[in-house]
Amino acid sequence: MRIYRSPLLLRWLFPSAIWKGDDKRAVYLTFDDGPSEALTPWILQTLKKAEVKATFFCVGNNVKKHPELFQQIQEEGHRVGNHTMHHENGMKTRANDYLQSVDEANSFIHSPLFRPPYGKITLRQYFQLKKRNIQIVFWSWLSYDFDPNQASEKVKMKAKSIKGGDILVFHDNPKSAETLTESLEEVIQLLNQKRLTFKTI
C-alpha cells in the first residue's frame, strides 16, 4: 500500500521535525540520494529551464564520489542537506553508528538539514540529533518514483492533490530515472498552473 501523505502518527512522534513549509503559497521540492552521474545533470537542467530551486538531501558517499556535481547543485542556487554517509536505515542501525554516519556525511555536506533515509529513525537517534541542533526534515507528499511498479502517469495523477506548504520528495538515483524523467516536468507545470511558487527549505 502506497501512502503518499505522511501519517499523522509520525508527525505526533516527531513534532519538532519539519513536515511542511510555512508558506502556503509555495511548495518545497526535494530530491534524495544523489548526486548521481545518471540523473543529477538532467534534474539540474530541468530545474534551470523551469526556474525552480530545490533542496537536495545528499548521501555523503555520493558527494565524495561526485564532488563536481555537488558543487554544481550549490552553484545553481539549490540548498543541500545530509542524508547519512551510506543511506543507512535508522531502524536497522545502532544509534552510535547512525550518528557517526551523519557526522561523516556532514564533513562533506556542511548543512544543518537532515533527512533520514527511508524516513526511518528511532526516537533515540532523533533526540540525539536534536541535541546537536540538527533540523530533521520529513515530507508531506511522496512521489514513489523509486518504485518500478509505479507508473509515471500515477505520479502525475497523485500530484493533483499537492497543496501549498507541501514538501515533495523525488529521488536522484538510477532506480528513479525512468519515472522521474517522465513526470517531473509535468508536475512542475501542474503546480505552476495552481499558481504555487517553489522554495527551498
Report the catalytic residues: 32, 171
Helix axes 67-75, 40-50, angle to 10 degrees: 10
Which run of H or E residues covers position 167?
A: strand 167-171
In whole angstroms, give the CA distance from residue 198 to residue 48: 12
Closest alpha carbon to 118 in 55, 179, 200, 173: 173
Give the Cβ contact number of residue 89 at 10 Å.
14
Helix axes 67-75, 95-109, angle to 10 degrees: 70
Which residues neighbour 168 within 8 Å (Cβ) at sequence distance 6 or greater?
27, 28, 29, 30, 139, 140, 141, 143, 162
CB distance 86 to 60 below 8 Å: yes
Instruction: Name the grid cell of 148.
Output: 518500478
Q: What is the DSSP letter of 118?
A: G
